[in-house]
Structure 1
Amino acid sequence: MFRSLFRKKIQVPRHDENWQVYFSRINNQVTSVIVDINVAEIAPVNSLSEVFYLIIPFDYANEEGLPTIESYKLINEVEDKISDLIVRYGENMLHVSTLTMNSERLQMYYCHKVENSKAFLSQLDKDFGEKLTYQIDHRHDPNWSDYFNLAYPLPFQMEMIKNRIVLRQLTEAGDDLKESRNVHHYLAFREEKDMDEFLQFAESERFVLFLKEKRDELWKLGISRQDYVSYEQIDELCLPIWEKAKSFNGIYNGWESEVIRTKNQ
């Protein structure tokens, strides 16, 4: 039987990256999670069945084990260089998340076999030398359990991510988020009785109904109230609405607000 002398190249599926940041707790430790949430659209990838961690300790951690402002500059410089090395020497490795906890950055990759990381690690040692201290860890993970259980956000965490995306859009449009404004929330219910029960909650919380229509077998609702939408306050505003809609078998479809610019802009 003919036997190929060439190793089959592992194809890493292409996807549109969507990196987001949120906070979680892993092993009762506060953890900052940077994750490409669009990886979930292609995961698990059969040809990438090993999870590989590049673990880098850092100095100047705060009491929760997360980086201080002074340590971020060095971390960013190191990770930018590592990212460049991955592009050139880790073509069979897919970076899916970075977890920060207990004074360490844990870069999570998936690969075909851990041997795929040898060229990358060799170049890492060559470029950084003794300037970079790191460890590695790996295991067989064909179902991508680490990605889904450690990195991918839970539903309420996904809502927090969505909240910050809207806030970022507002600030990029020139809104300093200092003014209260009319905030519109959108929901959908399949059953009229569930919608009516939710509306009782909304009325008790002083929300005003501005949209109520049945479309495509769903009841579409819009409620609004004058509120502040700062980074510190947005989750306290939106998560209770999301939770209450869920308890009445409804879907919370997010919020929007007009852009309020200061007069000198």
Structure 2
Amino acid sequence: MQEYWELYMKNLEGNPASILFNAGISMEMDEIKYIYPTIAFVKVKLKEPNERGLLSENEEPELSYIEDKLEASLIKFRIGKYVGRVISDGYVTFLYYLQFTYNWQDFLEFALDEFSHYEISSGFQDDGEWNYYQKLLYPTPKEWQIIQNHKVCDAMRTKEDNLHLPRAIEHKLFFTENSESRNVLLEKLESEGFKIQNEIENEEGIKGVSFYRIDKPFYHDIDELTLYLIDLLEAHGASYDGWETSIVKS
């Protein structure tokens, strides 16, 4: 399985949640989900969660050590694969897909023998369709967009960009339906200050357009804008395909 990890925030049962997951698995899931048909968890109660119920800086080193010990135990007993971690509501939950479960207790004892000062629970159940991975760990299209937004913003900051300064931000869309809603969509974009640029076409031959507007690319601003565009485009038979802009320093 490929190792390609992503970290993002989401709302989980009314609480903020930090999700770390192996995104590389999604490219192989159809091939491996029947090899690892059981979802298992190790849930650790935090001693010093921050005010949002997430991991505090004080406790982060020890939780990282627990995570490392669990990974070492997983390798030792060769029973499955670590696929993700959820931190929310004062708990850290480590998630694994198992090939077999007969030595699950051996795995736990080897990994957790020195952490008796923590309140820890564990268990496993059948999940041949990998619903926990797909519905809990894997981001929605909007969550994926936020992940990509923040990667671009982070990269711009490393180049000393002042993300608060407005500039032309170019977006792309592709039409998913052949309908009259295309013209309605373009008119709607223009009414909201966007300038329609060029017609484009992707590798599959699907038609689209690029368009731009003067906006700020700061994290919260670009999140709000792109999530709005996703909804707007979807309502008019189109899909959003990301943004780009120039570097502007103070």
User: TM-score, length-normalised on structure 2?
Assistant: 0.87
Q: Give the superposed CA RMSD.
A: 2.3
Counterparts of 1:76 and 1:129 in 2: how far apart (Å)? 12
The 1:106/1:214 distance shift into structure 2, 3 A limit, reads closer
Moved more, 143-152 or 40-49: 40-49
Per-residue deviation, 1:108: 0.7
Give the SS at the match of 2:164: coil
Asked whether the equivalents of residues 99 and 107 of structure 1 are also in contact (C-alpha less than 8 Å), the reply is yes
Q: Distance in 2 between matches of 1:85 and 1:173?
A: 41
Letter in 2 for 1:74: E
Q: State the partner residue of 1:11.
A: none
Unaligned runs of 5+ in 1: 1-13
Task: Give the direction of change, closer, same or farther, for the CA distance of 1:214–1:53 in structure 2 (3 Å limit).
Answer: closer
Aligned counterpart, 2:187: 200
Structure 2 residue aligned with 1:255: 243
Distance 1:97 1:51, change over 3 A: same
Aligned to 1:168: 154
- What corresponds to 2:111 in structure 1? 124
Aligned residues with identical type, % of pairs = 20
Q: Please give the alpha-carbon distance, in whole angstroms, between the structure 2 residues aligned to 1:108 and 1:53.
A: 5
In the TM superposition, 1:9-158 aligns within 5 A as 14-15=1-2, 17-44=3-30, 45-86=33-74, 88-126=75-113, 128-158=114-144
- CA 1:170–1:84 in 2, change beyond 3 Å: closer, same or farther? farther
Report deviation, 1:217: 4.8
* 2: CA distance, partners of 1:119 / 1:252: 48
Contact 2:45/2:118 (8 A) holds in 1 = no
Encode CA deviations 1:218-258: one digit per residue, 9 max, x unaligned.
33211111111122222111111111111111111001112
* SS in structure 1 at match of 2:233: helix
Q: Is the 8 A contact 2:73 2:111 kept in 1?
A: yes
- CA drift of 1:214 comes to 5.8
For residue 220 of structure 2, give the secondary structure of its aligned residue in structure 1.
coil
Deviates more, 1:180-189 or 1:32-41: 32-41
CA contact (8 A) 2:167 2:215 kept: yes
- Structure 2 equivalent of residue 191 of structure 1: 178
Report the equivalent of 1:230.
218
CA distance, structure 1, for counterparts of residue 237 and residue 90 of structure 2: 41
Describe the superposition over 1:116-154 as per-residue Cα deviations: whole angstroms up to 9, x where unpaired. 43443232134x253544211211111111111211112
Task: Tell me the distance in 2 between the aligned counterparts of 1:213 and 1:234.
Answer: 23
Q: CA deviation at 1:109?
A: 0.4
Give distance in 2, aligned partners of 1:214 and 1:47. 39
CA distance in 1 between counterparts of 2:223 and 2:6 reads 16
Distance 1:118 1:66 in 2: 28
CA distance in 2, matches of 1:90, 1:261: 52
Whichever of the two has the greater Rg, that structure is 1
Name the amino acid aligned to 2:6: Q
- C-alpha contact 2:37 2:127 (8 A) present in aligned 1: yes
